[in-house]
Structure 1
Amino acid sequence: MNWFTKTFSSTIGRKIVMSITGLFLCSFLVVHLLGNLQLFKDDGGAAFNIYSDFMAHNGIIRFMEIILVLGFLFHIYDAIVLTRRNKAARPIDYAEQRPQENSTWSSRNMGLLGTVILVFLIIHLWNFFVPARFGGLEGVVIEDVEYENLYLRVMESFNVWWYVAIYVISMVALAYHLIHGFQSAFQTLGLDHKKYTPFIQGFGYFFSVVVCLAFAAIPLYFFFFK
């Protein structure tokens, strides 16, 4: 296993791991968004509460949560290691730099964007995931079956202006993070070609903007209309 350890602890190996875990996390965003769209149904939260109960008690989903957590941990750890290696390789900046001429703002600030997203993720998990998994939510009866009322928690949270602001700002940060990360992941994996790259960049931009706009629309919808 020595060759395996050396390969994936090298700089290129860590970039590959970051790319794979990043694309995996993109797939999670889609699944998570599809579930959260239940919040827009005008049924008093019934569909969302039933969906949340299914996610909390389905064995396959619970197993995938472990994979998801590992994906996040590997992605974050490799990002920290690569950032430190880059700084160690060039401890003193060049005398004259014009980074805006050969790189995008998001590519130069991936660390900052990632930090904002990580802080949001901790707040988000503490506010929703922990109560949903470990108790603390009120019950609600839907068709003679009692469910935990996560919908009520959503309504209460998204009627607090500063929490809505944090959520929306974090989605902006996530959009910028994805815009660079999506196409960068394909490039790292060797899927970089003049025929495919424009499509990958275009789709990545579309994916990043649409997904993050949809997520940001949820707290804004509750704050202004609920």
Structure 2
Amino acid sequence: MRFPADALLFDSDETLVSSLRSVKRVWSRWAESYGMTLEEAMARVEVHGRPAAEIVAALLPADQAAEGLRRLIDAEVADALAGGVVPVPGALALLASLPEDRWAVVTSSSRRVAGTRLGQVGIHPKFLITSDDDITRFKPHPEPFLLAAERLGFDPARCVVVEDAPAGLAAGRAAGMATIALTTTHRPDQLDADASVADLTALSARVTTAGDLEITVG
């Protein structure tokens, strides 16, 4: 399957960076420090694909939320710097084949956490959209992807979203973009996308002589 496009828009965690073990490790310790297990915290609030600030605000009293968020971000950064993250298979090769102005990372993580995790695996995007940017609505709302398309200077209809989470894929569809799902965190039947792959070794991209970006699945 081929997708003619101008740009690729990637989620970060479990799309470019394998961080699930780090996230579970850090969040488990953080939750326990507030008298919860990770399972109890996840039962109280949906965590996947949401900004940490929203999750912390839903779990802690208002007078503890700011300090709780600071402690969480510090711990996530420290774990990444200690080698807690690795690239998703195929990520580095795929990005190396793309001009830097033809792709962006769009994540619900904070800029500090996302930048650290990406940097630790050798990914340095020119365009990085995070929860710290001027975004008022997060995935599954299309605003983050629309902002990325605007900053890249391309029509949203000519952008392709690569995501592992239902909320991110829904955001891409709502933005009028084609979607490719990675089955790194969900089963294929849980992901509504134009195509799905196990990891990024199944994707390739090239700039055509006409200047278009041709993305191939398989």
Q: TM-score range by the shorter chain?
A: under 0.3
Higher strand share goes to which structure? 2
User: Which protein has the larger Cα radius of gyration, Structure 1 or Structure 2?
Assistant: 1
Higher helix share goes to which structure? 1
> TM (normalized to structure 1)?
0.25
